[in-house]
């Protein structure tokens, strides 16, 4: 499945799949916004519908600029093929609808993005598909539960929002013994930091809204895998089931974002490492979850399957749920917002925001603490990021607050 190229990642991200000489010398690929494409004859059109030529038919099936973007991304993700969709959830749902049918089972990890969890609960389950949640940090749990009815195993790594890692290679060694696909959400890492397909996964999905776009100005998603799987997802899950078709303008923005992905990710990682180290030393922080910390419980796995530690941090406060919310509300430069991977540093309270559809019992079952905060470390100067966190701690954790929580610090 791996697509080999002599060029380095950064070069591929800028040049793969495009030749300016074939486009009137235009340095930037053209934006194709036509919804339909004309044929020279009925016979040519008929051949296109039968897949006997490579003519474009209708934008729901692809456009020239979309095709180029997909070829470039497939090369970055070391895949045979890729499909770009109108959102991350569009990519996830188009893929899952294409891979399972009533009576099948999907096994998913305990920790998932809130909308993915909602889709599994309210989408797949309502159509007669069994969904089982396991702690996939222990591959033995999968080995003990997988059966011939299991057609899809799904996980994020690192997981949203609590940064748990899944050993992709270990899971793939189990799923390959069954008629079952291993599907990994690689949004947090991007292909620059992690390559699930090279580790044995069958399918990899992304919310391209995040780091791949990188500027908070588009909504998009990717799925990458074998040519056979991607063709099936395009013609069934995307064309017939979801219609989650990306616009030509967002294709252009994504191509622009990919050109600087490696530079941005290096800075995200550098800043996040320093923020994580600061939080880990703070008396206000109970736990800091970041793969680059020496005390991160899965650091060995991080070094094995990730090229760097990423720009996402999860941390729990020595506080009440109300104090956690007050901390977020007292930040000045750091913005309270969902999404991640933008130039701006963003923070959110999962229990109140992205995972608010979970009941209190479900939050505990899925390992989400009521004081857990998710921090997407941006590209600002590191001193300014840390200074804002310091002032928010000082604003919220007064001597009175500390005394009430039993954490008063002696002078």
Catalytic-role residue among 55, 58, 60, 259: 60
Catalytic-role residue among 72, 109, 113, 211: 113
Surface-to-core class of residue 382, CB atoms within 10 Å of its CB (0-12 exposed, 13-18 middle, 19+ buried): middle
Is residue 326 annotated as part of the catalytic site, yes or no? no
Is residue 231 annotated as part of the catalytic site, yes or no? no
In angstroms, the Cα distances linking 92 to 67, 104, 282, 315, 336 are: 19, 17, 37, 27, 26
In angstroms, the Cα distances linking 91 to 188, 216, 345 are: 15, 18, 26
3-state secondary structure of 190: helix
Cβ atoms of 114 and 338 within 8 Å: the answer is no
Element (H, E) at 42: helix 42-49
Is residue 113 annotated as part of the catalytic site, yes or no? yes
User: What DSSP string runs through 69-136?
Assistant: HHHHHHHHTT-SEEEEESSHHHHHHHHHHHH--TT-EEEEES---HHHHHHIIIIIGGGT-EEEEE-T
3-state secondary structure of 346: strand
Residues sharing a CB contact under 8 Å with residue 82, sequence separation 6 or more, in sequence order = 70, 71, 73, 74, 222, 223, 224, 225, 230
In whole angstroms, give the CA distance from residue 87 to residue 219.
Answer: 5
Cβ atoms of 72 and 83 within 8 Å: the answer is no
Catalytic-role residue among 151, 210, 234, 264: 210
3-state secondary structure of 385: helix
Taking the alpha carbons at both ends of the chain, their separation in whole angstroms is: 61
Is residue 185 annotated as part of the catalytic site, yes or no? yes
In whole angstroms, give the CA distance from residue 337 to residue 210.
Answer: 13
Which amino acids are annotated catalytic? Answer: 60, 113, 185, 210
């Amino acid at each position: 499945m791996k697509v080999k190229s002599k060029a380095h990642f950064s070069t591929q991200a800028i040049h793969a799949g495009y030749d300016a000489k074939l486009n009137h010398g235009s340095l930037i690929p053209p934006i194709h916004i036509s919804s339909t494409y004309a044929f020279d004859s009925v016979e040519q059109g008929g051949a296109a519908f039968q897949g006997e030529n490579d003519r474009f038919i209708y934008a729901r099936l692809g456009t020239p600029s979309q095709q180029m973007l997909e070829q470039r991304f497939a090369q970055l993700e070391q895949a045979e093929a890729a499909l770009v969709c109108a959102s991350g959830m569009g990519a996830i749902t188009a893929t899952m609808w294409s891979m399972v049918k009533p009576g099948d089972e999907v096994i998913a990890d305990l920790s998932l993005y809130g909308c993915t969890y909602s889709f599994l609960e309210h989408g797949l389950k309502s159509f007669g598909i069994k969904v089982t949640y396991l702690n996939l940090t222990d591959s033995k749990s999968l080995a003990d539960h997988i059966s011939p009815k299991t057609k899809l195993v799904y996980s994020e790594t690192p997981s949203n929002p609590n940064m748990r890692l899944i050993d992709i290679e270990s899971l793939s060694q189990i799923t390959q013994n069954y008629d079952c696909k291993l599907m990994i959400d690689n949004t947090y890492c991007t292909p620059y930091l992690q390559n699930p397909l090279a580790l044995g996964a069958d399918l990899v999905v992304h919310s391209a809204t995040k780091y791949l776009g990188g500027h908070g100005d588009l909504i998009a998603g990717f799925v990458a895998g074998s040519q056979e799987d991607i063709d099936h997802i395009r013609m069934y899950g995307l064309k017939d089931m979801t219609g989650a078709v990306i616009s030509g303008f967002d294709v252009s923005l994504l191509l622009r974002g990919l050109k600087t992905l490696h530079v941005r990710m290096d800075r995200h990682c550098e800043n996040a490492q320093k923020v994580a180290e600061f939080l880990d030393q703070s008396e206000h922080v109970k736990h800091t979850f970041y793969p680059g910390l020496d005390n991160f419980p899965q650091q060995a796995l991080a070094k094995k399957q990730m090229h760097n530690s990423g720009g996402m941090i999860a941390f729990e406060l020595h506080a009440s749920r109300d104090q956690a919310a007050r901390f977020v509300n007292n930040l000045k430069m750091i913005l309270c917002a969902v999404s991640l991977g933008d130039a701006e540093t963003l923070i959110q309270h999962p229990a109140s925001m992205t995972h608010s559809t979970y009941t209190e019992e479900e939050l505990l079952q899925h390992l989400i603490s009521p004081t857990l905060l998710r921090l997407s470390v941006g590209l600002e100067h590191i001193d300014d990021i840390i200074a804002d966190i310091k002032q928010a701690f000082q604003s919220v954790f007064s001597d009175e607050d500390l005394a009430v929580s039993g954490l008063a610090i002696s002078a």
